[in-house]
Amino acid sequence: MPELPEVETIKRQLNRKIKGKKIKNVKVNLPKLVKYPLEKFKKIIKGARINSISRRAKLLIVELSNDYYLIIHLKLSGQIIFNGEINKHTHLIYYFTDGGILLHNDVRQFGFVKVVFKDELPDFLVNQKLGPEPLSSKFNLELFKELLLKRKNSKIKLLLMDQKFISGIGNIYSDEILFFAKVSPLRIVKTLKDKEIKKIFQGIKEILKLAVKKKGTSNRDYFDAYGKKGNYLPFIKVYQRKGKPCFLCKSTIIRVKMGSRSVHFCPHCQK
């Protein structure tokens, strides 16, 4: 968290709010957040203009006018907020020449900012070994089936969260996608029927699109670039609903551990 819908929301909002702005200065309150020599980082940032903001998987990619890119990963609790209020969790502050500010907050401090030169960006992204973008037109059912064939002994829940398999899906939306498809997260890929694969693919597309439209899910630390909560939480069917009745069959939603992750599902509806 944040996952694809949340990062996509922030990307779109930042393009509306800070694209074209010139950075007057940057203040670093937590040096470990910056994965680059600090003085060089400040020198690159100061005076640069924001050309655009893009996204790859869960990464925000900020293109600067001086041929450098900022790669921002929010990890579990990161926030990027335009003209927000500075607090004890504000670790980076970008000051714009027009008086605006951009805050990088992070309660748990797992996120980071990296600096990559233009010529190094393609190799940097290749080295991340990221899977296809699920909302891209290139990600179709045929490709999804091909990818599944290569990982047929994997558990479907873990596979959906594997960024090398598909980009941007995490714990929230993998739970919701599998409930949509009525498939147990414990299932092994090779046991999936063709109609189940089609339903999972449909769920990936529909749920992520709706979550982007609703500006993401705010269940803990996530706020959009305006400091507002996302609106997808009322649409959640199983994630973090342990002990509550299933909306379809009234059975009790259960939670199990899968590796280090908590998995939520309906044992009656999802087989």
By C-alpha distance, which of 180, 185, 138, 183 is closest to 159? 185
Question: Are 252 and 243 a contacting pair, CB within 8 Å?
Answer: yes
Query: Active-site residues: which are they?
Result: 2-3, 58, 261
Which residue in 55, 72, 77 sits closest to 2, CA to CA?
A: 77
